[in-house]
Amino acid sequence: MTAVQDYIRTIVNFPHEGILFRDVTTLFADPRGFRMAIDQMLHPYAGLEIDKVVGLEARGFILGGAIAHQLSVGFVPIRKKGKLPGATISQSYTLEYGDAIVEIHDDAIKAGEKVLLVDDLLATGGTAEAGIKLIERLGGEVFSCAFIIDLPDLGGRKRLQSMGMEVKALCTFDGS
């Protein structure tokens, strides 16, 4: 039986020497693989009260939009600095390859809304942590974080769990 991880290719030395890049575009390109991933990601949340799905740039948009559609809830993007047209709040963070800033519209989440945070890959957890902080600053409650891939050797799951987050991933890969 084919599993989600069977659709994911590994690209050696991208974007830097020594990195094993887990490429989900091959998963997205295959209709069976993509449906399998979306179905498996949303399954734990079916029937729960969720107000919004928030996707982290950029592959989290693809996943988050599809999951939000299936759950019949709104979708909110968290984007890199300068990409959103309206009034925003921002959060800086450190990731594997340097520093970055992400933003969310300041009216995207209402106080008390229950939010599912979605992205393709959990590495160090820096991007997800920044997203959680943005959502919480707007008064939202992140009740779970869902990923296709977890890279446990990089510590992201532990980082998010130390913040009190539930973390779900469809598969894991060793190394970076």
The residues that are catalytic are 59, 96
Whether 153 contacts 122, CB under 8 Å: no
Question: Is the bond into 15 cis (omega within 30 degrees of 0)?
Answer: yes
Instruction: Return d(Cα 100, Cα 93) in angstroms, integer.
Output: 6
Residue type, 14: F
C-alpha to C-alpha distance for 129 and 126, rounded to whole angstroms: 5
Q: Which amino acid is at 158?
A: K
Yes or no: say if 122 and 161 are a contact pair by the CB < 8 Å rule: no
Longest dimension (CA), the chain: 47
Rounded (10°) angle between helices 59-71 and 31-42: 60
